[in-house]
Amino acid sequence: MRVGISLTSSRRTDDVRAGARWMVERAAAAREAGLDSLFVGDHHATPIPYYQNVPITGRMLAEWGDAPAGCLFLLPLWNPVLLAEQVGTLASIAQGRFIIQCSLGDDERQFRAMGASRRTRVRAFEEALDAIRRLLSGETVSSEGLFTFHDARVNPIPPEPVEFWTGAVADKALDRAARLTEGWLGSPGLTPDQAAQAVAYYQERCTVHGREPTAVAVRRDIFVAGSEEEAQHIREASRGYRGFDPSALVCGTIESVAQSFRALADMGYTDVIVRHMVDDQDLVLASMARLKEVRALVRDA
């Protein structure tokens, strides 16, 4: 099993430079821990500081190595040509493979703020995905659908093919992921039972569509503690975290976190993409250092 990380981009801070610095420090710590991939999310028109994915990824790539890296993009909210241009540049900066995690988005306020329609998001997703793929392969592309543009092309072209993963939970979305993209990314809110059911259904749909996924990934919000006492303290302090079922969270010692990850590997997941369930910088960096040992324990799972 591979262990990657999605760095939290939102910060409740009055010092926005400090928030950006923390993300850069965490990217460096992820490299030091030998993690297998690095990602950030995508959100818009937020009430608190949210470091936008393209510029912060460009900065973090200076701290990263040649392992895969990428961004989540909510495709219905982006002009496909602009997105392809940004990815072409990021993939040229990256020393390894670039991965686009893509999803529909679900926040009506975001859609309104970005001038997009939630009602047509599925059609917009599929149109955008097709156009972005073609643009990144070097084609000249026109569109007369929800996105209208003529004779578009992008440069630079990524030096190696960009990989696409779809974030999906519902059955229709899992089928779409199996049909359209190389990989799938499961939600961090899935309980262990739900994660097992979702991966089984996704694998079934991959078989139906004749596809062999490159990644079967799941997000997990975690904390790797130095002791069981510290883990219990974090669990108690995190009651009600994001409204998740507590069984969806992974908080424990190195050995217990590794055991949780091995259980995901047994279900059929190839990647776990972690996000820290605490925001204190010292706690995150300490947990990140322990993730190096977790990864060593699950590397052959």
Condensed to tens digits (0 to 9), the pLDDT of residues 104-150 reads 999 999 999 999 999 999 999 999 999 999 999 999 999 999 999 99
Amino acid 288: pLDDT: 98
Query: Band of the pLDDT at 300, cuts 50, 70, 90?
Result: confident
pTM for the model: 0.96
In this structure, are strands 271-276 and 2-7 parallel, antiparallel, or unpaired? parallel
Query: Band of the pLDDT at 301, cuts 50, 70, 90?
Result: confident
Amino acid 231: pLDDT: 98
Amino acid identity at 139: E
Which pair of tokens denotes residue 110?
A: 């975001």
Distances in whole angstroms, Cα of residue 70 to Cα of each of 56, 137, 198, 236, 239: 11, 17, 23, 33, 31
Which pair of tokens denotes residue 12?
A: 């409740």
In degrees and rounded to multiples of 5, residue 19 shows phi and psi of: -60, -45
Span 297-301, average pLDDT: 87
Pick the CATH number of 2-220 from 2.40.110.10, 3.40.50.2000, 3.20.20.30, 3.40.1710.10: 3.20.20.30
Span 43-57, average pLDDT: 97
For residue 220, pLDDT beyond 90:
yes
Condensed to tens digits (0 to 9), the pLDDT of residues 242-291 reads 999 999 999 999 999 999 999 999 999 999 999 999 999 999 999 999 99
- Name the H helices within 48-149: 53-60, 80-93, 108-113, 121-136
The domain limits of the chain are: 2-220
Amino acid 75: pLDDT: 98
